[in-house]
Structure formats: C-alpha cells, structure tokens
Amino acid sequence: MMDKISELEQRIETLEAAAEDQSKLIETQTETIDLLTEQNALLKKSGDQKDQIISKQGELIKFYEEQFALSQRRQFGQSSEQTPDQLRFENLFNESEALADPSLPEPEIEEITYKRKKRKGKREDDLSSLPVERTDYELPESERICPECGDVMGDIGVTVRNELEVIPARVLNREHAVHAYGCAGCEKNGKPRQIIKADAPVPLISGSLASPSAVAQIATQKYVNGIPLYRQEKGFTYDGVVISRQNMANWLIYCSQNYLVGIYSLMKAKLLEETVLHADETSVQVLHEPDRAAKTKSYEWLYRASGCAGYQIVIFEYQETRRRDHPDEFLKDFKGFLHTDGYEVYHGLPPDITVVGCWSHCRRYWEKLYESITPAAARDGSDAERGLVYINLLFAFEHEYIGMTPNERLEWRIKQSKPVSDDFFGWVETLRAPPKTLLGEAINYSLSQREYLENIYLDGRLEISNNRAERALRPFVQGRKQWLFSNTPNGAESSSIYYSLIETAKENNINPYQYIKFLLEQLPTAKSSDLETLMPWSENIPEYCRIPVKASNIKQENSMYTSKKGSLRNALQKLRERYKAKDSP
C-alpha cells in the first residue's frame, strides 16, 4: 500500500513539475506575443511616419516645382497680367459643345482680301501742339527760265515734309542787375539822400546760383525721368557748368521745406475731405536715420483720390516703419471707403473707415498658380483656370459699367456681378490644399479677404481693384531703381513732397517741369491765402503749364480682362447651369 502511495506522490510531483514547466512556457510565449505586438505597433508607427514624411516630401516637391516654374516665368516670361487666349469666356468649363468634332471634314480655305483707307490726320494730330518753323526752298528767277520757250516759270505747287528738330537744353548765366537811384537835389540841399531801387525777382535761395528753372529741371530729371543727381552732375559738365550733387540736393531740400511744403499740406487737407481713397506702400532705403542701421528698410506710403473725386490728388509720405500707427495718424480726420491690398495693418483702422479689397491682388494668386502648372496642357480644366475665369468675368463686367452713374453701376453689380462672386467663394470653400502650396495660398487669400472684396457692393463709386494706387506708386518704384536710396530723412521727406506735386500735376494734365518752375517763381512772395490759386486744378495755372490734350490721347480706361458681351452672357449662363445641375437631386 505504501508503495502505491509513494508512486502516486511521485506522479503528482512529476505532474506538478510538468504543469510548472507548462506555465513557464505559457508565460514566455505571452511575453513573446507582447513583444511582437509592441514591435508590430512600432513598425506600424514607423510606417505611418514614413508615409507622413513621403507626403510632406511630395508637398515640398510640388512647392519647389511651382516656385521653379514661377521663377522661370519671372525671368523669361511676360510680365503682363493679360488673360491668355485659352481662358476665353466662351470655353468657360471646356464643355463638349466647345470641342471640335474630328469626324467632320476640314473646311475649305477661302482667301479674302480687302482694302481699307489709311488713317489720315494722325501725324498732324501728333504735331499739333508744337511750334512750327517753316523753311521755303525757292529758285531765283534766273533759274526759272523755260528751256523751250524762254518764259519765266510760275509757282505751281509746294511739297511739304515734316521732321522733328530737337534743341538741347541751354544753360546760361543770367545776371540780375538791380539799378538803384538816388536824389542829387536832396543831397545838395543838405537833406537825407532819397534812394529807390527797381523791382526785381526775389532770389530763390539767398547767395545761391539756384533759380526756379534750375531747381525745376533737377527735380523733374530725378523724380520724373529717374536720373540720379550724380548723373545730372556729369550731364551739366557737358554744358560747361559745374554743379555738385551736394548743391543740387541742398537746393531740392531747401525749396521743399521753405516753399513747396505749403502746397503739399493743402493738397493733403483737400485729399482728406474726400470719402473714397486708395492706399499703398513700398520700401525705401534711408542711410542716415537716427538709431537705425543703414540697411534697415523704411517705407513710402501713398494715399490718393479715387476716380470719382472732384480733385485728383496723390500724396506720398515717408515713414520709418510699416506699422499701423502711420495710416492711423494720416487718416485720423478721414471717414469713408479706403481701397487697399490685403495688408492686415489697414484692417485695424477705425470703424468709420471701410476697407475695400483688391480683386487684382486676388487674381494674382490664381494667375501664379495657373502659370506654375506644367506642362501647359495640364492647365486646361484645372482649379487655377476656373478661379481665373471667375475673376476675369468680374473684370469684364466692370468694363461694361464704364460711363454709368454710381447708382447704375451699383445696381448692375448687385444684379450681375455679385452672383458670380458668390459662386466663386462658394466654390473656393470646397477646395482643399496644404497651406504653403500655391493653391493653398490662393484659397487662403480669397477666403480671408472675402469680407473686404465684397465691399464693392456697398457703393457704386468704389472700384474693383487698387490698381489706381499701384499706378501712382509705380514712378517711385521705377525711380528707386536708379537713385537707390535717400541719404537722410530730410531728403526722404523732400522726395515725398516732390513726388506728390509731380504725380498730382500729371493727374491733372499739368506739365511737371512747368508747374514746379511756376510754383518756385510765385511762392517766394506768395501769401498763405494765395496757395489755393496755385493748386494744379486751379484756373489760375498758366496755359503754358498745361499739357495739350489731343484727340488721339482721349481714351477710356480699358480693363485688361475685356470680352464680347455675348461671351459674358454665355459664361454667366454656364455658371448658372453648372451649379443648378450640381445642386439638383
């Protein structure tokens, strides 16, 4: 019996040992499974990370491809914003009815020729404002003897040809000899001698060679033609005159600070009386600003009247920074509408200033995206093409509104343009793209600026773009490429005054040189009450200051996005049909 019990105990011990071994095996396998699960999770996470890296790399590759295509276009392509032929309104969405049927036979080519009358009078119109000096070429009577009969030949006609003769600028030393007169009789009688002097112009700058014509010439050469003072200095030497660039700079600054600033201030006050303005800004380098490095950017701010204004005024203002306090200060007395680009500084202006966005800026984002798509065949039907067509349609409608009253324009905009812009923003909201890609930037700009872009539907006097301000700022930007920088803040402020007077003169059809010269002749003896009569739009401005208006120069302000009215109607109808079909059950 004991043997059986002992045998059972041994078997029990053996089974317990086997169970313990089995438990250890299960524990080991469990640890292995946990380890494998953990490794699998790590591998999956690593795979997800690789997918993210690949996705980001794909986005970067696309971004760099877009940037490369844009760089190529900037370097080698055209800079015009004109709409390409492939974005015609009649092929808005590239529907099948717009495509040719390849099964149809080729049409026979018929050559048609026609004659048209050559336009007459253009040359006469171009030369109509110039003085005429006629030179007659005649034969003496002794050379007009007929070889057949010996009679004297009579004049039977004149053949006239025209040519332009250019007379270079002439520099002369004008001596102002002011005669004084004394009474000899008083002196003989022992009385104080009475002395009088002849009237003479007041010197522009006492003790200086500067004259109104010289300062006006220097100013227009620099601020109209973009010729820096160092090149003007060299140019004067060809005429035998030595005028250092330092002297020219001093003359310009002195005249702006002592004479022209009054006109500038009055123009600024008149501008702020308007209720619709445009604003823009660009950088300028000023070398010697207090507590600032020479390479630090400063800014030239521009404010100008809109097309509906009574007076066309352009004001430039130099400031050290691009902060909001500058437009805040300049516009503190202004209430109304302000056209700007998308710069956020303008969006924080007081509530009595309504910011109006620029559709041209919005269009440029879609145009950049369109130009970056390669090959060109891939642009057809792309989001970039569609975005451009929407905006082009809005500009084309604006061309139709030319000549309307503000109320009529507002009525037609709400009736005709607003449905298109609503469709545009509704479509943009459906798009998705990484924010740093060109498509992402176009989407972000369009939606973030929607509030301001749609403000054109508040008043018929408003314009669809801020191009008016950009055109006024362009002469400054072009000139900056030549003179590069201002030496001191005084010089930068002086430049602002000259650009303001010159661009305002041009806007009012006044010759800049003649106007600056006229002002410098009048202002040394003018009273503050006389300034109103010296404004560019004043009837008191002499006729010789006015630019002759020729028939060929009277042009409507055409939009670069024009199209036939029928195409506009078709495009709008296609938009309607497309969205109606899209929303139908």
Q: Distances in Å between the alpha carbon of 471 and those of 282, 466, 503?
A: 13, 9, 10
DSSP 536: T
* Cβ atoms of 317 and 326 closer than 8 Å: yes
pLDDT for residue 561: 41
**Predicted pLDDT at 66:** 63
Position 114 scores a pLDDT of: 55
Confidence at residue 511, expressed as pLDDT on a 0 to 100 scale: 96
Q: Which two tokens stand for residue 73?
A: 């276009």
CA separation for the pair 584, 208 (Å, rounded): 82
- What span, in angstroms and rounded, lies between the C-alpha atoms of 184 and 190? 10
Helix 383-400 / helix 359-372 crossing angle, nearest 10 deg: 140
- The per-residue pLDDT string of the chain (585 residues; one tens digit each, 9 = 90 and over) reads 666 777 777 777 777 777 777 777 787 878 788 788 887 877 777 777 777 777 677 766 766 666 666 666 655 656 666 665 545 554 444 444 444 455 555 555 555 555 665 565 667 777 777 888 888 888 898 888 888 888 888 888 888 888 888 888 788 888 889 899 888 888 778 788 888 888 888 899 998 999 999 999 999 999 999 999 999 999 999 888 999 999 999 999 999 999 999 999 999 999 999 999 999 999 999 988 898 998 889 999 999 999 999 899 999 999 999 999 999 999 999 999 999 998 999 999 999 999 999 999 999 999 999 988 888 888 888 899 899 999 999 999 999 999 999 999 999 999 999 999 999 999 999 999 988 889 999 999 999 999 999 999 999 999 999 999 999 999 999 999 888 888 899 999 999 999 999 999 999 999 999 999 999 999 999 999 999 999 999 999 999 999 987 654 544 444 334 444 456 556 556 655 654 444 432
Angle at 20 between CA 15 and CA 22, to 5 degrees: 90
15 class by beta-carbon count within 10 Å (0-12 exposed, 13-18 middle, 19+ buried): exposed
Q: Tell me the residue ranges of DSSP E strands in 387-536.
A: none
Token digits for 118? Answer: 């050559």
Angle, helices 512-522/489-507, rounded to nearest 10 degrees: 110
What integer pLDDT is reported at residue 512 of this predicted model?
Answer: 97
Spell out the residues 6+ positions from residue 173 whose beta carbon is closer than 8 angstroms to its own.
Answer: none
Model pLDDT, residue 90: 47
Q: Token pair of 235, please?
A: 């140019």
- CA–CA separation, 332 and 181 (whole Å): 56
**What is the C-alpha to C-alpha distance for residues 204 and 202, in angstroms, rounded to an integer?**
6
Q: What tokens does 7 get? A: 């045998």
* Residue ranges of domains in the chain: 212-358+466-545, 378-452+556-585
Closest CA to 285 of 498, 471, 481: 481
pLDDT at residue 584 in the model:
35
Contact 218, 169 (CB under 8 A): no
Tokens of 64: 């760099």
Q: State residue 466's pLDDT score.
A: 96
Reference 272, options 351, 200, 353; nearest CA is 353
CB 467 within 8 A of CB 360: yes
Element spanning 582, H or E: helix 565-583
The alpha carbon torsion through 554, 555, 557, 560 (nearest 10 deg) reads -150
- Residue 410: both structure tokens together: 């507002």
Q: Is the peptide bond before 375 cis (omega within 30 degrees of 0)?
A: yes
Global confidence as pTM: 0.77
Q: What is the pLDDT of residue 489?
A: 92
Instruction: Give how far Cα 140 sits from Cα of 137, 152, 153, 155, Å.
Output: 10, 10, 11, 11
